[in-house]
């Protein structure tokens, strides 16, 4: 049995690394949130319009947090055309009149709010979160439409631009409120989004049309002014498309808040009806527990108890399958079920195999063994039976490999765990605290397994295998190719190749790389983990429906 006593304080070097990385994260967030920059923001103000983040700030309740999602969308992408900071949109969950709303706001300071490929995917992800959690949605529209030079990557596929309107319609059919305010341009196919909402508000000076004046002239030879073609007065008085016309952003946002306050509140999820008063968690700096570089072992029970109400944790099968820790607790008064990777070194008791007494072996923390997979699969079924949301704390190297593991049926047992994660019907929230490698990502509820929310710490590393292992494997492949071409590399070339491969892979391991491609919903600071989980559960609580659990062919 591992020592379950609280871990020792981190080495000062670990703390300083965290301090450096958190400062870097804050600087990167500030840069991304600047959108198109100061000059573009000034141009927006000169049009008597607010920026996207200013609009969100006025829309949300005073003093309430705005949980921004996908802040790093598009980070480091499209640099050949000037980039697309934050995907040209601001998305997140904010409190409006005391109720959580998904807010989706075009950032007109970034290419006039045009949709890049990542923009469409970001909006679709935000809508999907709203759909799954029955969150009402507010769209603040200010977009020039599709970014035409990349139209082939935006227009036709299942997760491209058209999916936005599909989700519009699906949410409407489910009775999920949607309010749109046009506060600038709304052009071409994008015009369908606000018109498919429950309520449409439009400010004077804005434009709503399938084709702007220039395109109309080119297409049919008709010369028409913008206001006559698609201005707020025309849509309000003649076409009847707009429900409320407002003089400016401030009045439009006030109208949105007033309307949002009128919507009925539906039933809460079954788990939320068992919520109790919140009990504070024990005070602890999580960066003193978990080292940034993963070099220090830690007992994940300490992490769990640092974020749960009163440090309470009812562990499931604590002496079996110890590299995965499972159990029930409460966070913010909500019942939750944890599945977490243990990061201590464990002395495992084994069957005697005909010999007197018990044999032992050392098991490495972060690795999923057969008995751990069995335990977690069973526990996930228990959580579904109880109707309790699951929280995955992911710091996983992968499944155990080798002769003994294969003979113990690791593939069969791992498949059982993946089945349980896949078919889970209670809400699932994932926090990636360290490694998220290979099939371990799948077992620990990675993006492909439909988590309601998935967050990463700045220490997260996201890839098919660790950097050193991947670099050596890729180097071997390149060396073999060079030898086949008649050019075996010398030692200097080998080192240069290795350095290039390792640098590329290390870049891809960074959580910003994952966040830029929406593999995680956002990068969060460790000490914000408890609050983000509570507010994620607040969002999950809005959906009262829970499907019947079916697992199909379940390996035994």
pLDDT tens for 409-463 read 899 999 999 999 999 999 999 999 999 998 999 999 999 999 999 999 999 998 7
Alpha helices in 90-183 (DSSP H): 117-133, 151-154, 162-173
pLDDT tens for residues 274-325? Answer: 999 999 999 899 999 999 988 899 999 999 999 999 999 999 999 999 999 9
Mean pLDDT of 382-393: 98
Q: What is the pLDDT of residue 471?
A: 67
Is the same domain home to 258 and 400?
Answer: no
Show the tokens assigned to 539: 């969002």
Residue 49 lies in a domain: yes
**Whether residue 222 has pLDDT greater than 70:** yes
Is the same domain home to 478 and 375?
Answer: no
pLDDT tens for residues 32-56? Answer: 999 999 999 999 999 999 999 999 9
SS3 545: coil
Residue 2 lies in a domain: no
Is the same domain home to 434 and 477?
Answer: no
CA dist 250 → 56, 136, 255, 393, 546 (Å) = 11, 21, 9, 42, 39
Query: Where among 210, 233, 262 does a domain terminate?
Result: 262
Query: Where among 204, 232, 262 does a domain terminate?
Result: 262
Show the tokens assigned to 204: 């004077």
Residue 488 belongs to domain spanning:
464-509
Is the same domain home to 474 and 449?
Answer: no
Is the same domain home to 182 and 293?
Answer: no
**Whether residue 15 has pLDDT greater than 90:** no
Residue 25 lies in a domain: no
Q: At residue 12, what are phi and psi to the nearest 5 degrees?
A: -50, -35
CATH of the domain at 173: 3.90.226.10
C-alpha–C-alpha distance, residues 430 and 322, integer Å: 20
Q: How many CB atoms lie within 10 A of CB 43?
A: 14
Half-sphere exposure of 7 (CA within 13 A, CB side): 25
Residue 556 lies in a domain: no
Is the same domain home to 503 and 410?
Answer: no
Is the same domain home to 282 and 318?
Answer: yes
Question: 341 and 396 in contact (C-beta within 8 Å)?
Answer: yes
Q: What is the pTM of this model?
A: 0.91
**Whether residue 340 has pLDDT greater than 60:** yes
CB burial of residue 556 (10 Å; 0-12, 13-18, 19+): exposed
Count of domains for the chain: 3
pLDDT tens for residues 473-531? Answer: 777 777 787 778 887 877 787 778 777 777 777 788 899 999 999 999 999 999 999 99
Is the same domain home to 90 and 104?
Answer: yes
Residue 187 lies in a domain: yes
In sequence order, what are the residues at sequence separation of 6 or more whose Cβ sits closer than 8 angstroms to the Cβ of residue 484?
none
C-alpha–C-alpha distance, residues 181 and 291, integer Å: 45
Q: What is the pLDDT of residue 2?
A: 37
Is the same domain home to 135 and 234?
Answer: yes
Residue 89 lies in a domain: yes
Distance of CA 377 to the CA centre of its chain: 24
Is the same domain home to 81 and 192?
Answer: yes
Residue 70 lies in a domain: yes
C-alpha–C-alpha distance, residues 515 and 76, integer Å: 11
CA-derived radius of gyration, the chain: 26
Is the same domain home to 330 and 388?
Answer: yes
Show the tokens assigned to 67: 């949980």
**Mean pLDDT across the chain:** 91
Is the same domain home to 160 and 241?
Answer: yes
**Whether residue 548 has pLDDT greater than 70:** yes
Show the tokens assigned to 273: 């009806």
Residue 358 lies in a domain: yes
CA dist 165 → 122, 133, 171 (Å) = 14, 18, 10
Query: Where among 262, 292, 319 does a domain terminate?
Result: 262
Strands in 410-493 per DSSP E: 428-437, 453-456, 461-463
**Whether residue 185 has pLDDT greater than 50:** yes
C-alpha–C-alpha distance, residues 170 and 166, integer Å: 6
Show the tokens assigned to 29: 């967030």
């Amino acid at each position: 049995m591992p020592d379950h006593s609280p871990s020792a304080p981190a080495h000062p070097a670990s703390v300083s690394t965290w301090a450096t990385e958190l400062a870097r994260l804050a600087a990167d967030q500030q840069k991304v949130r600047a959108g198109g920059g100061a000059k573009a923001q000034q141009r927006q103000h000169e049009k008597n319009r607010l920026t996207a983040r200013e609009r969100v700030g006025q829309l949300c309740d005073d003093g309430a947090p705005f949980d921004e999602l996908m802040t790093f969308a598009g980070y480091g992408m499209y640099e050949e055309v000037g980039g697309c900071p934050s995907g040209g949109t601001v998305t997140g969950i904010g409190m409006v009149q005391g109720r959580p709303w998904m807010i989706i706001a075009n950032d007109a300071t970034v290419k006039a709010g045009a949709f890049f490929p990542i923009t469409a995917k970001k909006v679709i992800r935000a809508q999907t979160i709203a759909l799954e959690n029955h969150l009402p949605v507010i769209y603040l529209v200010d977009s020039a439409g599709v970014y035409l030079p990349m139209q082939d990557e935006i227009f036709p596929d299942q997760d491209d631009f058209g999916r936005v309107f599909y989700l519009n319609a699906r949410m409407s059919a489910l009775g999920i409120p949607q309010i749109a305010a046009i506060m600038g341009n709304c052009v071409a196919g994008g015009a369908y989004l606000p018109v498919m909402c429950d309520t449409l508000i439009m400010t004077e000076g804005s434009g709503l049309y399938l084709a702007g004046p220039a395109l109309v002239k080119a297409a049919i030879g008709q010369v028409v002014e913008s206001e006559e073609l698609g201005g707020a007065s025309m849509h309000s008085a003649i076409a009847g498309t707009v429900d409320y016309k407002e003089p400016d952003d401030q009045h439009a946002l006030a109208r949105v808040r007033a309307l949002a306050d009128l919507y009925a509140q539906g039933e809460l999820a079954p788990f939320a009806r068992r919520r109790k008063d919140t009990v504070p968690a024990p005070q602890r700096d999580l960066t003193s527990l978990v080292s940034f570089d993963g070099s220090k072992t830690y007992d994940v029970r300490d992490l769990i108890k640092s974020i749960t109400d009163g440090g309470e944790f009812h562990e499931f099968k604590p002496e079996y399958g110890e590299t995965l820790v499972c159990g029930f607790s409460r966070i913010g008064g909500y019942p939750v079920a944890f599945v977490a990777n243990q990061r201590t070194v464990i002395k495992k008791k084994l069957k005697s195999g005909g010999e007197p007494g018990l044999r032992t072996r050392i098991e490495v923390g972060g690795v999923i063994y057969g008995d751990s997979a069995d335990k977690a699969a069973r526990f996930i079924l228990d959580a579904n039976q109880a109707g309790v949301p699951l929280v995955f704390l992911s710091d996983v190297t992968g499944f155990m490999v080798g002769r003994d593991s294969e003979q113990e049926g690791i593939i069969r047992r791992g498949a059982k765990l993946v089945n349980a994660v896949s078919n889970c019907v209670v809400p699932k929230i994932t926090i990636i605290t360290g490694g998220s490698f290979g099939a371990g990502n799948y077992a620990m509820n990675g993006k492909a397994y439909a988590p309601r929310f998935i967050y990463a710490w700045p220490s997260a590393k996201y890839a098919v295998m660790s950097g050193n292992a991947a670099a050596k494997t890729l180097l071997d492949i390149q060396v073999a190719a060079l030898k086949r071409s008649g050019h075996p590399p010398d030692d200097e070339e080998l080192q240069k190749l290795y350095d290039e491969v390792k640098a590329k892979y290390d870049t891809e391991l960074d959580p910003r790389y994952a966040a830029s491609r929406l593999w995680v919903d956002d990068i969060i600071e460790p000490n914000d983990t408890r609050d983000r989980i509570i507010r994620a559960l607040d969002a999950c609580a809005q959906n009262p429906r829970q499907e019947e659990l079916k697992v199909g062919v379940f390996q035994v």
